[in-house]
Structure 1
Amino acid sequence: MNDELKAHREPLGDIVAAIHRATATVAVLSFVGYGVAAWLWFSGQPWLALGVATVSYLFFRLYPVLSVHWARWRSADDLRARAALEALERAWQGRSRRAVLLEVDAWLRKEGSKHD
């Protein structure tokens, strides 16, 4: 992990937490959609069930993009968080978002255990 990201420890923690919350929310909503689709299927409305299941699947496939945009939206007013997001975006150039976020998350967990 680069030093530029390490300089933004506190806002990065908030950003990663927001991304985790958004990811969990998208997953829960997607699986609720799958449940509604199953209920519709067994209620005799297979075409509507297929439509709901398809929309739920597409919504679930968008979770990486949605979760980052959610974190961006949540921290739009905080200047420190904006600087941390800009550092994250520079780190994402040439690397996958998932790899960078996993690295940042592991580093934050390690740093958090040092301060406990």
Structure 2
Amino acid sequence: MFTQQQIDEHRERLEQVVATVHHFSAAIFILTFIGYGLAVYLWFQDQTWAGLIVATFSYLFFRQFRSLSLGLARMKLREREGFAQTWQLLDEALKSERPQAVMLSLETRLRAPREPE
């Protein structure tokens, strides 16, 4: 998916992308469980349908958290200098793999110890 040369060339920007994606993923995770809490509250207030609707939307929101967090990271970092090539690299990987697989591969490659030159 990514060559070592690509990782080395874009390392700093890729690390920023990963950190930003994790930031948005955590926010989505928190919002999802707030939604679940609201659904439980509505359920106990005898508003069963409203609770079911909120729980369903929370679930659907959570199901999209990888692609949504990647999209939000793209919006946040798109104007920064040098990120156009980094996003092209990620877009190429996303053409053949799901966002979860791309991020897992990227994080694994970034965390791998560097070979001495």
Q: Runs of 4+ in structure 1 displaced over 6 angstroms? A: none
For the pair 1:9 / 2:11, whether they are aligned, the reply is yes
Query: Where in structure 1 are there 5+ consecutive unaligned residues?
Result: none
Identity of aligned residues (%): 35
For the Cα contact (< 8 Å) 1:30–1:57, is it kept in 2?
A: yes
**Corresponding residue number in structure 1 for 2:60:** 58
1:97 to 96, 99, 106: 99
TM-score by length of 1: 0.87
| Counterpart residue identity of residue 69, structure 1 | G
Contact 2:67-2:99 at 8 Å conserved across structures: no
Cα deviation for residue 91 of structure 1 reads 2.0
Give how far 1:9 is off.
0.4
Question: Where does residue 22 of structure 2 map in the other structure?
Answer: 20
1:110 maps to a residue whose letter is A
RMSD: 1.7
Q: How big is the shift at 1:29?
A: 0.4
Aligned pairs for 1:35-74 (under 5 A) are: 35-74=37-76
Question: How big is the shift at 1:5?
Answer: 3.9
TM value normalised by structure 2: 0.86
Residue 35 of structure 2 aligns with which residue?
Answer: 33
| 3-state SS in 2 of match to 1:22 | helix
Identify the residue that residue 109 of structure 2 maps to in structure 1. 107
Deviations 1:21-80 (A, max 9, x none): 111111110011000100110011111111111111111111122111111011021131
**Matched positions, count:** 113
More displaced stretch, 4-13 vs 14-23:
4-13
Take 1:54 and 1:96, find their aligned partners in 2: how far apart are those partners? 23
Counterpart CA distance in 1 for 2:47 and 2:101 is 41
Asked whether the equivalents of residues 26 and 60 of structure 1 are also in contact (C-alpha less than 8 Å), the reply is yes
